[in-house]
Structure 1
Amino acid sequence: MELAEKLKEILGVIESAEVVYLSTIDENGYPSTRAMLNLKNKKQYPHLISMYTEESNQFTVYLTTNTSSAKIKEIGNNAKASLYFCKPESFTGTMLQGKIEIVTDSEFKHNAWMKGWELYYPGGIDSEDFSMLRFVPFSFKTYSDFQVETEKID
């Protein structure tokens, strides 16, 4: 498969996966993985599509989390992370490796906010416990048709 076709396939998985699995490195140097809202899912979060067009890396992913969560401390100590998107019914998945950072731009957070997130962030958009994360990958590994492929991202 040509690289352009592979990249299109990867974006298809990323933009349709119901959830994404984020792995960070804990204080003991071990991976810590959890399921997160996949804000790159075009069907679930159509209002966020435009924020991704501003990115030079088409595989950049934004996430939300509680500022009080362990992952915020882990990211502060070590920005290395991975994201895993999958379609279990077809045994297809993509792992992205890269760096993750905490978004501090208040206007950006306001534009990304979605009604209903009060469930996760009872204090609302201006709550100190609402944080956004920006993940920028440098490589990917795909799993499909019982084959594994690894590539760098320019």
Structure 2
Amino acid sequence: MLKILFLTFFLTVSPVLVLGQTESEGPWSNDVVVEVALELITALPYATLITLDASGHPQARTMEAFQPDEDLVVWMATNRNSAKVDEIRNDARATLHYQVPNGLGYVVLTGQSVLVDDEDAKAKWWRDSWEEFYPDRSLYLLIKFIPSHLEVVSYEHEMIGHEGTWQAPRADL
């Protein structure tokens, strides 16, 4: 009888002890997933921006991303003549991928990219270190990435994918 009580206790309480929630609450709350994502992203200066080319193939490139705002909107700069600008004009769907340096985690934001050519916005985000990349400042253009949802894996936070499906914890934004 004692074994049955222990087993019942273990099966009922262990998910709460290990994961911090009960099965009915789902793997992680939306707020917790967003909180961990923000913590990871703010420590990472670079992201991989993935857009779709004219034939629908993903195109990935490393971007120096600004810190996200409270809604996880991320701004980046680019040259208006770059291929990614045409790709975004053709299909705004995009993904931003942040990799934790030790390989024990990542954040993936999925959403839409918007090209911004507003002079006030460009002045706000300008970095003096870009002078050599934009000797002709008219080539400087902003990308505003607006996420719709995100996925996070962080071994440091014990936030890992589902054991059976490997589905990463997800938050809708």
State the TM-score, normalizing by the size of structure 1: 0.82
Pairing partner for 1:29 from 52, 56, 72? 56
Structure showing the higher helix proportion among its residues? 2
Give the partner amino acid of 1:108.
Answer: A
Distance 2:32 2:169 in 1: 13
Structure 2: which 5+ residue stretches go unaligned? 1-27, 162-167
**Sequence identity (%):** 26
- How far apart are residue 105 of structure 1 and its match? 1.4
Q: TM-score, normalised by structure 2?
A: 0.73
Alpha-carbon distance, 1:90 to partner? 5.1
Kept in 1, the 8 Å contact 2:30–2:170? The answer is no
Checking the alignment, whether the CA contact within 8 Å between 2:150 and 2:170 is kept in structure 1 is: yes
SS of the residue 1:88 aligns to:
coil
Q: Give CA deviations for 1:29-51 in whole Å, capped at 9, x if unaligned.
A: 1000000002117xxxxxxxxxx
Check if 1:118 corresponds to 2:138. Answer: no
Q: Amino acid of the residue matched to residue 143 of structure 1?
A: V
Instruction: Mark the structure with the bigger radius of gyration.
Output: 2
Which of 91, 108, 128 matches 2:104?
A: 91
Instruction: Tell me, in whole angstroms, the C-alpha distance in 2 between the residues paired with 1:66 and 1:74.
Output: 13
Partner of 2:172: 152
1:45-124 paired onto structure 2 within 5 Å: 52=69, 58-89=71-102, 91-123=104-136
Runs of 4+ in 1 over 2 A off after TM superposition: 1-6
Q: CA deviation at 1:119?
A: 2.3
- The 10-residue stretch of structure 1 (139-148 or 98-107) with the greater mean CA deviation from structure 2: 139-148
| Structure 1 stretches lacking a partner, 5+ long | 42-51
- Find 1:19's aligned residue among 35, 46, 65: 46
